[in-house]
Amino acid sequence: MERRIGVTPVVVSPVTNRFAAAERALRTAAPHELVDAVRRILVERYAAVAVELLMADYGLTVLQPVSGPRGREPLSVYDSAAGRAFGAQEPYVEPAGGGRVRAHLPVTVRGDRLGVLSVTLPGDGDGDGDGERDEDTDAEVSEVLGELSEIAQVLGHEVVVAERATDLYLRARRRDRLTLAAEMQWQLLPARSGTGPGYALGAQLEPAYAVHGDNFDWSATADRLSLYVSNGMGEGTEAALLTNLAVNALRNARRAGLPIADQAALADQAVHAHYGGRSHLSVLMLDVDLATGRAQVVDAGSPRLLRLRAGTVERVDFEAQLPLGMFEETDYAAQPFRVEPGDRLVFVSDGVHAVASPAGEAYGDAALARAISSTRLLPAAEVPRAVLRGLTGHRGGRVPQDDALVVCLDWHGR
């Protein structure tokens, strides 16, 4: 088609026009109507037979529908077609019967994996009834797959914004009810995975529905990446309240442009002023120059760092300093550290490295090193989940007595 602006003809292809219509429909939809909007536009413009948005649950074990019949079983992240698309972060197409196909498209925002958009597309309509698709139909599916993938990304961005105004998508992420402490922690956390120029991040907390005081936080600018891994003392809401105070104090200092040693000092003062030394929080803080890989580290407590470099896993030790809030007006010093292209840094809380087997054997550095080596081919976003699965086996299936946190940072360099 041709659209005239002034005297200069501008050609707008039907494909571009179709995608623009889908994008516009999503951007103008009410927060709770995003699924209806994407379903309507895909049926009208792409002849879709069925459209469904599946959200990853807090434990990253299942994908659950945002809307649909109540009581429907969620899909496994590990052994379903939608789970395959979610794990690989690539579109996956499967036969859907009657010559139809179902395309599963990752819904991801800047590396943060939210779920999967599943779209069932029609067959040729004039087939021979054997349920087989012909080459022309497959070519048509391949043509629209790229567009559908882009629509899934637009949908992801709109879901992130919509979560400020509706609980619909947050409710879809819940396989079970969250404890109050877990609700507080998940609201405090940033994205569980992310990518940027030169790095990739992944993190996961267990028990996902009853976590207490462990936390991670990260933030990036054009020049720097800041990453904090914390372990608050106590249980239940008291642990969550302590972590909320400390993390927000660290964020307040960071957003004021202070270096990490001063961030630690101000957060220490905030925690001590409130608790008077009765409660404290351990934190490992890392601030990396994205251009050079040079970093500053403050080690104030129990989180531990292991590094995979050139096929070898080793523990990295820093000068131990006091946890935040233990004493009044503690001074903190940053240590120099450097990451090299190809490094994988894995941060763990004491609920990982100190957890005991039924026989009383601590998980420890040796088991962690084996777990990190065995997951070396996985992307950073998948590593924490894989390590925590191994930890569950070491624990012997028992209910965890402490939070377990794993954060993986892959450094590619610029």
What 3-state class would DSSP assign to 281?
strand
Give the CA distances from residue 115 to residues 146, 168, 256, in Å, rounded to whole numbers and listed in that order: 17, 14, 34
Is the CB of residue 42 less than 8 Å from the CB of residue 25?
A: no
> How high is the pLDDT of residue 355?
78
pLDDT digits (tens, 9 = 90+) for 45-97: 999 999 999 999 999 999 999 986 665 789 999 999 999 999 999 999 999 99
User: pLDDT category, 399, cuts 50, 70, 90?
Assistant: low
Give all strands of the β-sheet with 112-121 in edge-to-edge order.
Answer: 75-76, 62-65, 50-56, 112-121, 100-109, 92-97
CB burial string 41-64: b at 16+ within 10 A, e below:
bbeebbebbebbbbbbbbbbbbbb
> How high is the pLDDT of residue 72?
76
pLDDT digits (tens, 9 = 90+) for 250-302: 999 999 999 999 999 999 999 999 999 999 999 999 999 999 999 999 999 98
pTM of the model: 0.88
- List, as one string, the DSSP characters of 368-411: HHHHHHHTTTS-TTTHHHHHHHHHHHHHTTPPPSS-EEEEEEEE
pLDDT digits (tens, 9 = 90+) for 300-333: 998 999 999 999 999 999 999 999 999 998 999 9
Residue of 72 and 110 predicted with greater confidence: 110
> How high is the pLDDT of residue 11?
38
Task: Determine how β-strand 92-97 pairs with β-strand 100-109.
Answer: antiparallel
pLDDT digits (tens, 9 = 90+) for 5-38: 343 343 334 556 889 999 999 999 999 999 999 9
> How high is the pLDDT of residue 258?
97
pLDDT digits (tens, 9 = 90+) for 121-167: 997 544 444 445 455 556 667 778 999 999 999 999 999 999 999 99
- List, as one string, the DSSP characters of 230-245: EEE-SSHHHHHHHHHH
Cα separation, 380 vs 375, in Å, equals 9
| Burial (0-12, 13-18, 19+ Cβ within 10 Å), 237 | middle
User: In the predicted model, is pLDDT for residue 372 greater than 50?
Assistant: yes
- Percent of the chain at pLDDT above 70? 88
pLDDT digits (tens, 9 = 90+) for 170-212: 999 999 999 999 999 999 999 999 999 999 999 999 999 998 8
